[in-house]
Amino acid sequence: MTTLQPSAAVSRPPARPPSKRDRRSWTGWGFIGPFAVVFAFVFLAPIVYSIYLSVFRTQLIGGTTFVGLDNYQQALHDDQFWASLGRVSLFLAVQVPIMLGIALLIALALDSGRLYGKDFFRIAIFLPYAVPAVVATLMWGFMYGTRFGLVGDINEAFGVTLPDPLSTDLVLASIGNIVTWEFVGYNMLIFYSALRVIPNSLYEAAEIDGAGQIRVITAIKLPAIRGALVIATIFSIIGSFQLFNEPNILRPLARNAITTDYTPNFFTYSLSFNGQQHNYSAAVAIIMGLITMVIAYAVQLRGMRKGA
């Protein structure tokens, strides 16, 4: 019986020098590498650390222990959390359509070419966005004051009693007014930029067909800027759920109206820095992040479906 012996003289092919295609692939990583590192430390690391914190609980007796999803269950049964979420949902349902509607009307007016002083109005309306939110809230908080501010001066000058903008019933609307004042110009600029890239051939075709301005707006301009409308809506939804600066700054002026759980972000901040409940605060923050992501994604899908 004979056996086949492997040939000892079989030689392996020489190592292949890196090809031009391999060098190109590593060149790509060289470009995105710095961004990936920054993205991992700035964006992913805080999320991972928050998730890590949310599955523990620190107690005076017993120290820090692993509790799994108990913090999430506690948040889902927390009336304070749901009250704050309901408050920002109401804020979102009322303030965002008003703000985007005003921004859209201004953008259409600027784009119509029939507005004198267009450049001045564009800068003037955008200017509040350049004012820091803290400064804007302090300014409006002073004007809302009934004892020392503009409302108080009007009451004294005309002998009237205007409703207190910082009362429990009106403080949410007052915050909405501040946010609208700040971000109308920002959204207007998004809409106006989208309107400026509509091809002139569409306007010429509409003029040949005898379409009026209303018809041009509804049939050409609004469909053409649908993507910008969706983007602005998503930004506004995210901003509404992140509402924090305005209630936090106005709270010393309206302590009875603005509680420490007025918005989910304010509730999370109070839990973490005032109540020292870092683990529970992290769980609430993760839940709010998921809710915001789901709603923003649903709005995006809805907008894309309409655009199909």
- The pLDDT tens digits for 207-218 are 888 888 889 999
- The Cα–Cα gap between 284 and 272 comes to 10
Structural domain contains residue 188: yes
Structural domain contains residue 17: no
**Measuring CA to CA, how many Å separate 147 from each of 43, 55, 141, 143, 252?**
44, 47, 12, 10, 14
Query: Are the C-beta atoms of 205 and 239 separated by less than 8 Å?
Result: no
- Mean pLDDT, all residues of the chain: 87
Model confidence over 111-133: pLDDT tens digits? 987 778 888 888 899 999 999 88
Count the neighbouring beta carbons within 10 Å of the beta carbon of residue 14.
6
Q: What pLDDT score does 276 carry?
A: 84
Q: What pLDDT score does 223 carry?
A: 92
Confidence of residue 4 (pLDDT cuts 50, 70, 90): very low
Confidence of residue 255 (pLDDT cuts 50, 70, 90): confident
Q: Where residue 301 sits, what CATH number does that domain have?
A: 1.10.3720.10
Higher pLDDT, 142 or 12: 142
* Domain assignment of residue 134, given as a range: 78-305
Sequence-distant contacts of 47-50: CB under 8 A, at least 24 apart? 47/289, 50/282, 50/285, 50/286
Query: Are the C-beta atoms of 149 and 142 separated by less than 8 Å?
Result: yes
- The Cα–Cα gap between 204 and 289 comes to 46
Model confidence over 55-103: pLDDT tens digits? 998 887 778 889 889 999 999 999 999 999 999 999 999 999 999 999 9
Q: What pLDDT score does 1 carry?
A: 44
Structural domain contains residue 210: yes
Q: What pLDDT score does 22 carry?
A: 61
The answer on pLDDT for 296 being more than 80 is yes
- The Cα–Cα gap between 308 and 173 comes to 36
Number of domains present in the structure of the chain: 1
Structural domain contains residue 38: no
Structural domain contains residue 220: yes
pTM of the predicted protein model: 0.83
Structural domain contains residue 207: yes
Helix axes 150-158, 133-144, angle to 10 degrees: 20
Structural domain contains residue 115: yes
Sign for the CA dihedral angle at 57, 270, 273, 284 comes to positive
The answer on pLDDT for 18 being more than 80 is no
The mean per-residue pLDDT over the stretch 43-65 comes to: 88
The mean per-residue pLDDT over the stretch 13-35 comes to: 71
Sign for the CA dihedral angle at 153, 156, 159, 160 comes to positive
The answer on pLDDT for 286 being more than 90 is yes
Query: Are the C-beta atoms of 153 and 69 separated by less than 8 Å?
Result: no
Structural domain contains residue 120: yes
Confidence of residue 241 (pLDDT cuts 50, 70, 90): very high
